[in-house]
Chain A
Amino acid sequence: MVDVKEQINMNKKSNDVITLSVPNKPEYVSVIRLTVSGIANRMGFDIEEIEDIKVAISEACTNAITHGICEEENKFVVDFFTEEEKLTIYVYDNGKGCLSSNIKTPNIGELKEGGLGVFIIKSLMDDVEITSNNGKGTVIKMTKRVGDDV
Chain B
Amino acid sequence: MALMINKKYNEQDQIWNLELSGEVDIYTVEKLKETFNKIIEEKKETIRIDANNLDYIDSTGLGVLIGAFKKLKIEEKTIIIYNIKPSIKKLLNITGLDKIFTIEG
* Contacts from A to B (Cβ < 8 Å): 26-27, 29-30, 33, 48, 51-52, 54-55, 58-59, 61-62, 65-66, 106, 108, 111-114, 116-117, 119-120, 123-124
Contacts and interface: CB of A to CB of B under 8 A. Distances in A.
A106 B70 CA distance: 16
A51 B87 contact: yes
B86 A48 contact: yes
B69 A111 contact: yes
Contact of A26 (B27, B62, B86): B27
B95 A120 contact: yes
Interface residues of B, number: 26
Contacts of B99: 108
Contacts of B23: 30
Nearest to A32: B25
Interface stretch (B5-13, B40-48, B52-60): B52-60
8 contacts: A26-B27, A30-B25, A48-B86, A52-B87, A106-B95, A112-B66, A116-B62, A116-B63
Contacts of A26: 25-27
A87 B23 CA distance: 24
Nearest to B94: A123
Q: Dominant SS at the B interface?
A: helix
Nearest to A120: B59
Contacts of A123: 94
A66 B58 CA distance: 14
A110 to B, nearest CB: 10
A113 B66 contact: yes
Nearest to B29: A26
A62 B59 contact: yes
A37 B83 CA distance: 24
B26 A113 contact: no
B103 to A, nearest CB: 14
B91 interface: yes
Contacts of B58: 55, 58-59, 62, 117, 120
A27 B64 CA distance: 18
Contacts of A114: 59, 63
Nearest to B33: A113
A54 B27 CA distance: 15
